[in-house]
């Protein structure tokens, strides 16, 4: 009898644990362009079991596909790639990556105008267009549909979603927090004095950076009606993009170093956000986009003189000893995302091309 009770109790605790892991939120489950994290903020160290904490693995270019239009953003969401285009049509295109090496377009929807920012969460795509946010339902990815809209006080330049909250950043008027649990009754529930272009939500916390600034701000938004600033830092550049891991590492495509033409890629720990344990400076470049998976970060650098781009991969298991180990040249990169052992690079080459790399680790 006691053994039966023990077994039932064990099964219950396992189910409870699984529910806890998958119910804490979402925002780019494996990248960030701005986020992303389904794990508790109490996880303060990297995963030492997968991948091997000492191995960098190998990165190989395996494919490239035509997008059909020039891309602006790409985001991996579960077994889908979501692509926003801006030349040849303002579309949201949805690709199946059931076979990650061979993305296949399964649908598209006309966004109506250029997308300023995008995030994907809970089978919904949130896009900022002009003074509006539009919501697209992708529960059936073969048939996306508009299901909600928010009218903003001014043009939204940053967007991040998680736990039924939507964060919208403006150029100069701070940021708004909306409750999007009921798309028929979207409510403005809070605000942040900080404007943001890049931001990421994870487990009741929010990290963001204003446009044309190196500043980082860390908020507790567990009560979204009363956000609390709990930390700040500075990357030393002009932050173009940030990505946040579940254990609180922030990777920053920090543009160019203040008063120089040198690119800055920075990495900080949100639990000590005022310090910068790793920084890579590259002469005559501009660090524009960043993505991550597991213990790796992938940063895109642009050379304004030659108009060429490079993607650098970094091993970041410990930030104080991080280093780059892979470099590949491209042109006209607009965005990057990664997950499940693959890297997706969106370029305007040939009217829109997705480059696919496999990272075996």
Higher pLDDT, residue 148 or 22 = 148
Q: What is the CATH number of the domain that holds 64?
A: 2.130.10.10
pLDDT tens per residue across span 59-70: 999 999 999 999
Provide the residue range defining the domain that includes 237: 2-360
Higher pLDDT, residue 18 or 96 = 96
State the pLDDT at residue 203: 86
pLDDT tens per residue across span 123-139: 999 999 999 999 999 99
Q: How confident is the model at residue 152 (pLDDT cuts 50, 70, 90)?
A: very high
pTM of the model as a whole: 0.87
Give residues with Cβ within 8 angstroms of 254, minimum separation 6. 214, 235, 236, 237, 238, 239, 240, 263, 264, 265, 266, 287
- The residues with which 265 forms a beta bridge, in sequence order, are 253, 280
Total domains present in the chain: 1
Higher pLDDT, residue 87 or 216 = 216
pLDDT tens per residue across span 1-20: 444 444 433 433 333 333 32
Higher pLDDT, residue 80 or 41 = 80
Mean pLDDT to the nearest integer, 340-358? 96
């Amino acid at each position: 009898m006691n053994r039966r009770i023990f077994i039932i109790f064990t099964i219950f605790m396992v189910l409870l644990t699984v529910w806890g892991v998958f119910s804490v939120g979402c925002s780019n489950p494996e990248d960030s362009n701005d986020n992303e994290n389904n794990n508790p903020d109490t996880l303060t160290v990297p995963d030492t079991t997968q991948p091997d904490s000492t191995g960098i693995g190998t990165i190989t270019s395996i494919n490239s596909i035509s997008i059909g239009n020039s891309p602006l953003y790409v985001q991996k969401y579960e077994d889908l790639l979501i692509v926003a285009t801006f030349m040849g049509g303002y579309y949201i295109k949805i690709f199946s990556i059931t076979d990650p090496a061979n993305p296949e377009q399964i649908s598209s929807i006309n966004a109506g105008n250029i997308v300023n920012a995008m995030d994907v969460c809970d089978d919904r795509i949130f896009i900022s267009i002009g003074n509006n946010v539009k919501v697209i339902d992708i529960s059936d990815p073969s048939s996306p549909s508009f299901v909600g809209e928010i009218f903003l006080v001014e043009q939204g330049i940053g967007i991040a979603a998680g736990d039924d909250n939507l964060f919208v950043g403006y150029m100069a008027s701070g940021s708004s927090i909306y409750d999007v649990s009921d798309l028929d009754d979207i409510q403005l529930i809070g605000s942040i004095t900080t404007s943001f272009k890049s931001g990421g939500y994870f487990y009741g916390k929010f990290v963001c950076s204003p446009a044309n600034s190196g500043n980082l701000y860390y908020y507790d938004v567990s009560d979204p009606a009363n956000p609390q600033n709990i930390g700040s830092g500075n990357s030393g550049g002009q932050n173009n993009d940030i990505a946040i891991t579940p254990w609180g590492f922030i990777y920053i495509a920090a543009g160019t170093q203040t008063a120089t033409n040198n690119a800055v890629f920075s990495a900080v720990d949100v639990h000590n956000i005022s310090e910068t344990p790793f920084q890579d400076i590259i002469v005559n470049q501009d660090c524009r986009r960043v993505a991550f998976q597991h213990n790796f970060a992938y940063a895109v650098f642009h050379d304004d003189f030659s108009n060429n781009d490079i993607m650098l991969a970094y091993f970041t298991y410990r930030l104080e000893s991080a280093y780059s180990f892979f470099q590949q040249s491209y042109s006209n990169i607009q965005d990057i995302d990664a997950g499940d052992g693959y890297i997706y690079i969106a370029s305007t080459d040939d009217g829109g091309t997705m480059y696919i790399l496999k990272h075996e680790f």
